Amino acid sequence: MTWNDLNSTTASLDFISSNPVVYHCHHFNLFLDQTVDDFYDPERGTRIRTAMARSACETLLQSLYRSLEKQHTHLLPPKRIELAQNLFKDFGHGRLFIYGDEEGGKVEGEYLHYGFAWREKYGRQVERRHPADAFAGGFAAAALQTAYEAKHPYAAKETDCIATGATKCKFELTKTERSEVDIHIPDVTTMEPFLTSFSPMAGAEEERIRQIEAGLRGFLAGVRGDQRGLVEAFGVFVTRHSANYYNGISYRMLADLTRTAPFLKESAEELLRESGHVCVFNTFGGILYSPEWEANFGRIEGGLNEVVSSCMAIARALGFGHWTIAELSENHLVVRAFTEYESPFCLANDWAPRSGNCYFLQGAALAIMRLYDAIDWQEKPALDQRLYLKLFKSEHPWKVTQTKSLANGDPYSEVIVSR
């Protein structure tokens, strides 16, 4: 069995055993976690992110075991843990070694995506004071809980982390009474209203987008973690990740912030958009620069339609949803997403926002126009932190607004980028 056997794709959304998954890079992962910690404080932020990871991964692993049981594969707890560890590694999160039973356990981690990537990106510049691998901790807790079908959840505490200078990451798993997060984890059934009525209007360059998406999906089907359990490609570390984790931590933070400090909402939204912006600039840019792209789809010359339609195809192939180009000019881009991975979570949780809610889509669309506008595609400057800061440190003319949302009952989510 491969993960592809349990994968389904509908309308450019990907599911593993009915659970929504997307590809995201370390720039997005680190910035989003950091934003959550900035609002709560690192200790509470870590607890909430760990609990969210546990909830999202518990649902994912349970449905994975159910899918296997339907195929008459019944796994005992040690085999379930082994399967979970393999999934973690193949999805580019690093290597986890979980030792435990119903009473709890210990976990060791090697090359864990968050800690390792943090050290690579920021380690020479910043001294980190708190551990980075809440997602790995939550995943390990969920793996133990679902392996033993325990009635209670486990709390995961990272006691050693390479991002804070340890040689190896270590966690303790202990029984806990209640979950710190109260969310409904949506699965494919939550998305059925979108998926059954899915009949997108064709946007610009639709045929080109469709062809490139198909080519990229063929390439991605063979991507999995290397011996370290990392996926290092296109100049970034890539993970296949639970969309519910991203949505859970983002919208939970926004809900708490709206209740306790509504004057911070604009800043939080700006930072959530930035997660998408930094992701698209680096990952999409890295893909467009790559020899694999040139070999399969030709060299990018830097034309407006060419760059933007290529980015739409990449977004679809990474499982972000069915994004289309509704309008496009040198000063203006309208993206309509007939599916996207953010709104279903908002529909499933009544405390989550219903309008202006697609922060990743907003940041991504903004970055797509800036990629077109700011990069000299003939020169192809290195897409590194120096270039990023040089381009975006000062005020820039591009702005983005969201005008429609699937979460609000609109037929699509729409964002407008203009200058």
Partner 1 sequence: MSWLTTIIQKAEIPQLKSVSVVKNPSGELLEYWSSIHFDEGRLAAYFTDIVRAEGRIREVIAMNLKDIRLTVESNHLTIAVHELSERFIGVFIFQNPIPLGMVRWNLKKLGEAIAPHLPSEALETVSETKRLFDFIARYAPDPHMMLRRVALKTKIPYAKLLDPDQLQPEETTKIKSAAEDILGTRIEL
> Which residue, 152, 68, 155, 140, is CA-closest to 109?
140
Report the 10 Å Cβ neighbour count for 185. 23
Cβ(172)–Cβ(98) under 8 Å?
no
104 backbone dihedrals φ, ψ, rounded to 5°: 140, -165
Q: How far is the CB of 399 from partner 1 (least distance, A)?
A: 15
Question: Which CB sits closer to partner 1, 121 or 184?
Answer: 121
Q: How far is the CB of 256 from partner 1 (least distance, A)?
A: 12
Q: How far is the CB of 393 from partner 1 (least distance, A)?
A: 5
Residue for token pair 């070999």: 295
Q: How far is the CB of 366 from partner 1 (least distance, A)?
A: 13
Distance CA 112, CA 89 (A): 9
Distance CA 391, CA 205 (A): 28
Task: Give the interface with partner 1 as residue ranges (CB under 8 A).
Answer: 31, 34-35, 38-39, 41-42, 121-122, 125-129, 261, 263-264, 266-268, 270-271, 274, 278, 389, 392-394
**Sign of the four-CA dihedral 70, 71, 76, 82:** negative
Q: Which value, to the nearest 10 degrees, does the dihedral of the CA atoms of residues 295, 299, 305, 308 take? A: 70
Q: How far is the CB of 368 from partner 1 (least distance, A)?
A: 18
Question: Which CB sits closer to partner 1, 37 or 205?
Answer: 37
Question: Which CB sits closer to partner 1, 126 or 221?
Answer: 126
Question: Which CB sits closer to partner 1, 266 or 379?
Answer: 266
> Which residue, 122, 255, 291, 124, is CA-closest to 182?
255
Q: How far is the CB of 386 from partner 1 (least distance, A)?
A: 9
Question: Which CB sits closer to partner 1, 5 or 266?
Answer: 266
Question: Which CB sits closer to partner 1, 107 or 132?
Answer: 132
Residue for token pair 């809440």: 134
